[in-house]
Structure 1
Amino acid sequence: MWVTTPDRTELLTERPSVTFGAKPSDQPTIVVDSRRTYQPIDGFGASLTDSAAAALQKLAPNVRDDTMRRLFDPITGIGVSFLRQPIGSSDFTAASEHYTYDDMPAGQTDFPLHNFDISHDRLAPLPLLREAKRLNPELKIMGTPWSPPAWMKTTGSLVGGRLKDDTSVYDAYARYLVEFVRAYAASDVPIDFLSVQNEPQNRAPDAYPGTDMPVAQQVRVIEALGPKLRRASPGTRILAYDHNWATHPDDIATTPPGSPPETDYPYEVLRSPAAKWIDGTAFHCYYGDPSAQSALHTEFPDKGIWFTECSGSSSLGEPPEKVFRDTLAWHSRNVILGATRNWARSAVNWNIALDHTGGPHNGGCATCTGLITVRSDGTVTPGAEYYTIGHMAKFVRPGARRIASTSFGTTGWNGQIMDVAFRNPDGSTAVIVHNENDDPRSFAVTSGDQTFEYSLPGGALATFLWPPSKALENKLEYIPLTAATATGMPAHAPAATAIDDDASTRWTTEQPQQPGQYIDIDLGRPQIFRRLTLDSGGDLGDYARHCDVYVSDNGADWHPLAGGAGAGQLTVIDVRLAQARYLRIATTASAGNWWSLAEIALYR
């Protein structure tokens, strides 16, 4: 296991191994279930922007080589496995003037793209990208434009404006993006993913390239791009949207008169004819929360979700220790755990490197931070984002799949333990755990019928990794309760929260335990099961001191099935093979604690 603490006394520090055992725990318990699988993983990383490349190239060759190894080597470094590259200029560029790969004098056009040229990138960042691919051959690369060439736009400027609503312009822009993919591939940097516009609803960029691209225009671009890209580079996948979890109020406020704010932008694109060319949707972190990803996945389960941008930031004069602590906490909850628990196949920060001033940049963000900072004396300092990404990228390899794990914390902070789990292609399991509380918190991890306990310092982030083991495989199959309904007595809290497969929510009596309190579950149809688990969540002591389980075929005539004393937060009740449509779990003892049920699960 490896730990990073907010006070920086441990920075991705390997601690002594812990051992699974057969003894159950009375602590909040993370149940890891490798039989329940979710999205595949493409990688974790950042963007090797023009500014990042400039900062890295200023380093002495031996320092730069060491820094690249620390970033990309999976063994000696953190194994960054995903990079999102600007196509042309962004706000983070060292150039004095913004650029694309086909700039023309004012009033002139280049529809044949005769002047298309990536010479700017041949000095940087392409050499660094090739080195990154050498250090980590599994590295995936995504391309994203901040603006089409100005001659394609209504304003004639890279800053703001829209594409001209002209079929020949849509066609030219599609060919421009294909030329980028071809040129990078010819430079030994193949492009795995492509979006057609960074933050298409950011209509007022602060002196840096940006484009207002309404849904209808994104659809037109993708319809023109799809067939061309499939012929030129069939392995490159198109991602839609590439903007925030929710539409920012400023973006709504700048909507042109007479135009809709398009607050359901990704839904509209995926409902359009362009959807056949789209593999999924890309999201950023600057407004909303990660649950938006799950909502989109529910409506479009055959389309992937990628999380592609989030920058840390520091206010002027803010102490470095506070920047580190706050960034570690927020990014752990929202990017590392929140994005991936909500179907993201990637977790990608903004700049992979910046200088000590937070630059160089040309317009845009003056407070952004990178994974690493290049100091004026030529040394390199890793920031909090280096460690949050490192806790994932080093241990969760491309091709891994997220697997089920109980998580009690929330992205908005509730002071509990939050986690996510993955099964790697080699069969190993990685569990990343964050203690949201400022105080130490103890918990347990169960896989199969084996358990270990651990205590994490306040605010710490940890990764646990174990090799393939038959003893740690789940032998029983989880029964989804998506069609089930529940009622509780007393009826203070919604009983449905006890069967929603989300341990950060709970049903509770809101009063001390006493005999006669119960929760009834209608499974929707008869189910055969052999195990029932009652998880009381992260609030210690809220487990039933004793309870009985009843079954019924009609919800009126109840028959006793099992009963016994609870000994901790997770109570496991094994029964002979049983069949029932209705379950009742009733307390039969008194205690000063409330009775809470964060999650009820059935297995067969």
Structure 2
Amino acid sequence: MKKYTITTLVLMFALTSFAQQSKTENFKAQGKKITVFTTAENTDLRLKQTDNLEFKSSKQPLETEASVFVNPNNTFQTFMGIGGAITDASAEVFAKLSKEKQKEFVNAYYDKDKGIGYSLIRTTIHSSDFSSGSYTYIKENDKDLKSFNIDHDKKFRIPLIKEALKTAGKIPLYASPWSPPAFMKDTKNMLKGGKLLPEYYQSWANYYTKFINAYEKEGMPIWGITVQNEPMAVQKWESCIFTAEDERDFVKNFLGPTMEKNGLLDKKIVVWDHNRDLMAQRANVIYSDKEASKYVWGMGFHWYETWNGGKPMFDNVRQVYEAYPDKNLMFTEGCVEVFDAKKYQFWANGERYGLNMINDFNNGTVAWTDWNILLDQNGGPNHVGNFCFAPLHADTTTGNLIYTPSFYYIGHFSKFIRPEAKRVSTAVSRSQLASTSFYNKDGKMVTVVMNQSDDAIRYNLIIDESKAEVNIPAHAIQTLVY
């Protein structure tokens, strides 16, 4: 194995970054062909190729024209991936499908050609609300973790993860805990909040390493872990409270050193894993402590800050991105919260995904993870009745898969933007449109455009002195590859 000095590695990284940036700076649109894929409400268009266009010479656009401006000279974060969570609920429903439907399902998500090419997986460390019941990997009161085993996961969850990995190839898998075992908490209950008792900090830190080693022994490499799912929410399901100071100190004094001691420093530690509303405060507390910060790859966040009737707080993502450019941002969970079978095809659910993904990427996010990849016709199973939507549902009474608009909206990003792509500066001249662009390693530029209005719009796609004129239907999303 070759050995490199630190100086050599830094130089290699700099040259690689420069090479990719040079490629984007040399990107010329004139004469390039554009393939347009469209999904639109009140049509049969679902990720369908709808147009083949070509860039031609452009003049100064008028204010009466709608335009999308892409500037290849300005690049930002490197894209990591898009995916969803393989929960116990998803795996239990998957197991009820016929072999043919199972194959269709796995291809739909994880095959780049037949499906939408997911490139990221999240899973849980023992149970969450989307399990048929609460459980852990140890016997009660086993502080030393001598009884630790993942036999529970081998029945449903691990087989589905392996199927996904087999289809998608080597993609990152990360895991999140919802609660420590009951005996480790001050409430002696995995549900309804509570806090980790100080005398169990080390035992709980050891638990993460046991999980990583057990999963990897089964042939599933773990990319990283989040410290705690939604650490400021007292939920009726598995939950545990960590203040910013609690999480900082747990990472600094226990989790980080324990990962290091066990040779797992290559595994990424992600903090927060909660809504955009408090993410800046969490970043300030943890990142300002050098001893804690050195163990942290970045911050995860969710979209549920709208619970109080407010709007998504995208600006908080940007503020953290700008304040801590050496740290990463990943969206770790989002779903349409209240299940209603009458709304399987409710278009606004898909638009919610499109708007959030565009804004999160434009504000510095490197990865985006949906919640359950599959639920049944009741929005579950969920052992506390917290039924939700997924992009795909299975009606276990008929064996059929139900594709929702959300699946296609996510697909407009995940199918075309591939790992290691660079985000490219993109702006729009109309508030009815939203857009983001990425430059893939294969030399293709990908621009996603979303029309949130009730009217079809004709817009210019402009790069330097080149443009193409594109038609987008009302309430539609398009991916342009060129």
* TM-score class, shorter: 0.7 to 0.9
Aligned with 2:240 (options 201, 211, 233):
211
Q: Contact 1:154/1:161 (CA < 8 Å) preserved in 2?
A: no
Please identify which structure carries the higher strand content. 1
**1:300 and 2:324 aligned:** yes
What SS class does the counterpart of residue 405 from structure 1 fall into?
strand
- Deviation at 1:49? 0.7
Residues 500-579 of structure 1 mapped to structure 2, 5 A cutoff: none
Residues 450-469 of structure 1 mapped to structure 2, 5 A cutoff: 450-466=466-482
Q: CA deviation digits over 1:329-357, x for unaligned, max 9?
A: 222112x2011111111121111000111
2:288 aligns with 271
Q: CA deviation digits over 1:344-400, x for unaligned, max 9?
A: 11121111000111111111522x111211012001111122112211111001111
Q: Distance in 1 between matches of 2:454 and 2:467?
A: 25
- Deviation at 1:195? 0.6
Q: Distance in 2 between matches of 1:5 and 1:289?
A: 26
Q: Contact 2:180/2:196 (CA < 8 Å) preserved in 1?
A: no
Q: Distance in 1 between matches of 2:365 and 2:375?
A: 26
Q: Contact 1:408/1:418 (CA < 8 Å) preserved in 2?
A: no
What SS class does the counterpart of residue 57 from structure 2 fall into?
coil
2:13 aligns with none
Whose relative contact order is higher, 1 or 2, with alpha carbons under 8 Å and at least 6 apart? 2
Task: Name stretches of at least 5 consecutive residues in structure 2 with no aligned partner.
Answer: 1-35, 306-311
1:150 aligns with 182
Amino acid at match of 2:256: G
Amino acid at match of 1:182: N
1:497 aligns with none
Q: Percent identity?
A: 26
Q: Distance in 2 between matches of 1:429 and 1:448?
A: 14
1:433 aligns with 449
- Deviation at 1:189? 1.2
Q: Distance in 1 between matches of 2:292 and 2:79?
A: 25
Residues 312-461 of structure 1 mapped to structure 2, 5 A cutoff: 312-314=336-338, 316=340, 318-321=342-345, 323=346, 325-334=347-356, 336-363=357-384, 365-366=386-387, 368-375=388-395, 376-408=397-429, 414=431, 416-461=432-477
1:200 aligns with 231
1:117 aligns with 149
What SS class does the counterpart of residue 72 from structure 2 fall into?
strand
Task: Name stretches of at least 5 consecutive residues in structure 1 with no aligned partner.
Answer: 248-261, 467-604
Q: Contact 1:73/1:136 (CA < 8 Å) preserved in 2?
A: yes
Q: Contact 2:201/2:250 (CA < 8 Å) preserved in 1?
A: yes
Aligned with 1:40 (options 38, 59, 78):
78
2:20 aligns with none
What SS class does the counterpart of residue 74 from structure 1 fall into?
coil
What SS class does the counterpart of residue 89 from structure 2 fall into?
helix
Q: Contact 1:82/1:348 (CA < 8 Å) preserved in 2?
A: yes
Q: Contact 2:339/2:378 (CA < 8 Å) preserved in 1?
A: no
What SS class does the counterpart of residue 100 from structure 2 fall into?
helix
Computed over aligned residues only, the root mean square deviation of the Cα atoms, in angstroms, reads 1.8
- Kindly tell me: are residues 169 and 128 of structure 1, through their superposed partners in 2, closer, same or farther at Cα, counting changes over 3 Å? same
Q: Distance in 2 between matches of 1:315 and 1:209?
A: 20
- Deviation at 1:55? 0.9
- Deviation at 1:78? 0.5
Q: Distance in 2 between matches of 1:216 and 1:103?
A: 30
Aligned with 1:283 (options 289, 295, 301):
301
- Deviation at 1:234? 3.2
**1:100 and 2:136 aligned:** yes
Amino acid at match of 1:265: R
Amino acid at match of 1:271: S
**Which deviates further from its counterpart, 219-228 or 292-301?**
219-228
Q: Distance in 2 between matches of 1:442 and 1:92?
A: 43
What SS class does the counterpart of residue 305 from structure 1 fall into?
strand
Q: Distance in 1 between matches of 2:116 and 2:242?
A: 36
Q: Distance in 1 between matches of 2:165 and 2:343?
A: 35
What SS class does the counterpart of residue 157 from structure 1 fall into?
coil
Q: Contact 1:246/1:292 (CA < 8 Å) preserved in 2?
A: yes
**1:73 and 2:89 aligned:** no
Q: Distance in 2 between matches of 1:91 and 1:241?
A: 19
Q: CA deviation digits over 1:406-459, x for unaligned, max 9?
A: 1346xxxx4x21100001111211100001211111111122432101111111
Larger radius of gyration: 1
2:92 aligns with 54
What SS class does the counterpart of residue 129 from structure 1 fall into?
helix
User: Matched residue pairs, number?
Assistant: 434
